[in-house]
Structure 1
């Protein structure tokens, strides 16, 4: 079996995107892992299939992480898929359905897309957590009880679960990897969790690093940037709009007060095309 693909990235978060509107695409977890391998496969953070919508949208976006598991959604991939759909249709808007819910992408300039990510889900049952907690300050810490390395993060769902720690400086790769991998499968998160480390530089500027569930340390995480802004704003650390600086560039996040929706604006890049061979 072979399928053509487009390799894209959004702020460095990279994807292999497959057109599956007229022909099903259903790789096995082993096939996804093999394709994701950056030395022997195509290499990507996520594999994306553009499928027919079942709910009246322009398309349905299916997402596999590099570990072979399917996940609800991916913010940076939504920008890439939205751009592809708009290029094909000539429109300035695309409605995209995901397992995490419906979204709308609109043009924000040349190779820039804004995605309406919807309202953040903030109840402990919606993250979900294993027990009832105030999601502004959940009871979780890493390290000694009297001198924890990390403690009392915020929790947010943007269609997928996120925990956001507030750190005094931008953490190193080793710090993110060690603590992110530890927290990803913590019993408090029955569906595992994406782990963000947010360094608030100013009320309109967050430096963010993310350990992504099923993908590891990534150059950008769109839903993670949205979750970080919401978590910081809920704690009074930032305003409701900020530049979120990730390893791959800048994402602009606005938690709109009138609608309660989170709007994410950022870049889209096409890297190359090719053919997947199984």
Structure 2
């Protein structure tokens, strides 16, 4: 592999950063080890997720593959969907494009001020769709708590799948929660057979949430788009917010709206936010050969 390289884009959505590889034009055997090497912030390019653009698999405009820092494949990433959506919108000249993912299809369109809106589809709310390892009839708040018995720090999270599994704890002060400590434990809790993204949400007003997230396989993140969608759904289900709100993350704000159900089916979740192209370049051939060794 020595002497070979591969072009990449470095992009971000609210500081949630990605290395993007277009495998349609430059095929690459992407192993878990190579994904980890590229994502490594000391020895590689560094990113929260490694994103691949691939040929569509069932009639969309492109397929988006997602690898976390640990090399593992995940189903969905809302911030990455906006980034890839903008690339494919620019490439095709269309008004709307379909980005396929393992978690389902996402439709991307242009919004005001250069922002991108992605339709994340209808949330999955049944216990076996999230999935959970035990049956819960009401997923608005399941039996799970962290802290002293009788006086937990966090309890009764709402659980939602928006292409990937999320648990959202509503707290009085999102900044007061030590997610670096509780996040890894909750991510791997036996209730979550596919692990889960763990968020703490503070209700600032009926139209405003503050959110921090421990992302499955990536750790603390400046922004997680699917977590913003999941938190919005969880808040609406518990009548804490209106249906269209601002979600403030450490990296900035997203606008999330959960449309009501209609005769055409369950309401979809729409997320709108910015996209940035930071820079582009070519992967170091030594990185490719080292990961393959």
TM-score of Structure 1 vs Structure 2, range by shorter chain: over 0.9
Which of 23, 37, 40 aligns to 1:37? It is 40
Higher strand share: 1
Q: CA deviation at 1:33?
A: 1.3
Structure 1 residue ranges without an equivalent (≥5):
none
Larger Rg: 2
The runs of at least 4 consecutive aligned structure 1 residues that moved more than 2 Å come to 22-26
Q: Give how far 1:110 is off.
A: 4.3
1:64 maps to which residue? 67
In the alignment, which residue of structure 1 is the partner of 2:143? 139
Q: Distance in 2 between matches of 1:103 and 1:26?
A: 25
Partner of 1:111: 114
Alpha-carbon shift at residue 26 of structure 1 (Å): 3.2
Which 10-residue stretch deviates more, 207-216 or 102-111? 102-111
Report the Cα distance in structure 2 between the residues aligned to 1:169 and 1:149, rounded to whole angstroms: 11
1:23 shift after superposition: 3.8
User: Is this contact kept in 1: 2:6–2:26, CA < 8 A?
Assistant: no
Aligned position for 1:265: 272
- In the alignment, the residues of structure 1 paired with residue 108 and residue 28 of structure 2 have an alpha-carbon distance, to the nearest angstrom, of 23
* Contact 1:36/1:44 (8 A) holds in 2: yes
Counterparts of 1:92 and 1:215, CA distance in 2: 32
Aligned mates of 2:29, 2:182 — CA distance in 1? 33
Note if 1:151 corresponds to 2:151.
Answer: no
Instruction: Say whether the 8 Å CA contact 1:111–1:269 is kept in structure 2.
Output: no
The 2-side partners of 1:34 and 1:23 are apart by 19
The alpha carbon displacement at 1:143 in A equals 1.3
User: 1:42 and 1:22 mapped to 2: Cα distance?
Assistant: 20
Counterpart for residue 98 of structure 1? 101
TM-score by length of 1: 0.97
| TM-score w.r.t. length of structure 2 | 0.92
Map of 2:166 onto structure 1: 162
Provide the aligned length of Structure 1 versus Structure 2: 277
Q: Say what the alpha-carbon RMSD is for the aligned residues.
A: 1.1
Distance in 2, matches of 1:101 and 1:67, equals 22
The residue aligned with 1:235 is 238
Partner Cα separation in structure 1 for residue 278 and residue 216 of structure 2 = 24
Kept in 2: contact 1:20–1:51 (CA 8 A)? yes
